[in-house]
A = this chain, B = another copy of it.
Amino acid sequence: MTDTYRRILLASRPHGLVDGANLTVDDTAAVPEPADGQALVKVQHLSIDPTIRTWMDDAPGYLPPIGIGEVVRSGGIGEVVASRSDALPVGTTVFGMLGWQEYALADGAEGAMTVVPPGIEPAVVLGVLGVTGMTAYFGLKDIGQPRPGDTVVVSGAAGATGSVVGQLARIEGAGTVVGIAGSDDKCTWLVDELGFDHAVNYRTEDVAARIRATCPDGIDVYFDNVGGDILDACLANLAMRARVVLCGAISQYNEDRPVGPRNYLQLIIKRARMEGFLILDYLDRFPAAQLEMAGWVMEGRIHHREHVVEGLDRAGEALNLLFSGGNTGKVVVTV
């Protein structure tokens, strides 16, 4: 163990994509010693999620903004390397809000760190069984409430959450599953490997026209990860009593002034609803959902892919991939 460790600190708040000036690499702090009840975790993999970008803004959100000079908040997986906690002995693998750093202290408080059982790949823990997979599970089932035969559309469909949403919709008995993604390769993956019925490349195709063509009876459940024009294109094609699941708005997080959905009055004409949710509210239901998801992964009914970026110093670059669409599946940084 070295005496000091590397951390990525928020130096200034980004406008748009994160650039080098927004982050400081600091390797001057001493590796902390666990106090009584605490464990020291060596961070191995970081979960790179769009929500991290929202925490960098000085705006009211569901968690406080990351302070200037603080370690960038992030989920991750690591191994306990020193411990004064009976709950977290040395050698335990844990998942929790470890942050963009080489070491983190876990205090053993309930909910703060989850023990990861042996034999599960880190990428699966962070992806399908992690926050992104759970977001797909509860957002689709609890908020979208698909019924057998429904037409389900998801944007950001080749991302960690979207790719699971489409496959879950199939498992739930959806009649038609359509994904919206940003490249032909992604669209091919969605249809050929994940079993989507159709995929729309929003960079090259007229999204509203393609949704109209592939969803002739309208959209029953639209799971929105992106906001902006794609949300409007889907609002223009809702079925009666449709459910629009607001998961995120990746097209808007880098904008100083977000644009609202111009077609929101379609919610009146279609007697439809648009509802937001946060995965934080479902933590107590994770174990049962993870068990179900793990079963589907083992049966080959849920496929997943990871986009691995090597090196803590590249975490900012990895975050930007989510906004440029450079990733397919879950973005993970190996520390």
Contact = CB atoms under 8 A, between A and B. Distances in A.
Contact of A278 (B247, B264, B268): B268
Interface in A264-278: 264-278
A261 B276 CA distance: 14
A4 interface: no
B249 A265 contact: yes
A314 interface: no
Most-contacted residue by chain B among A246, A257, A259 (CB, 10 A): A246
B276 A265 contact: yes
A244 to B, nearest CB: 9
Contacts of A62: 268-269
B267 A262 contact: no
Most-contacted residue by chain B among A62, A266, A269, A276 (CB, 10 A): A276
Interface size, A (range)? 20 to 34
Contact of A271 (B260, B266, B271, B281): B281
Contacts of A278: 268-269, 271
A22 interface: no
A270 B257 CA distance: 19
A274 B227 CA distance: 15
A323 to B, nearest CB: 16
A61 interface: yes
Contacts of A259: 260, 262
27 contacts: A60-B269, A61-B269, A62-B269, A227-B265, A246-B264, A246-B265, A246-B267, A246-B268, A249-B265, A252-B265, A259-B260, A259-B262, A260-B263, A260-B264, A264-B274, A266-B276, A267-B274, A268-B276, A269-B278, A271-B276, A271-B278, A272-B275, A272-B276, A273-B273, A273-B275, A273-B276, A274-B274
Interface of A: 60-62, 227, 232, 246-249, 252, 257-278, 281
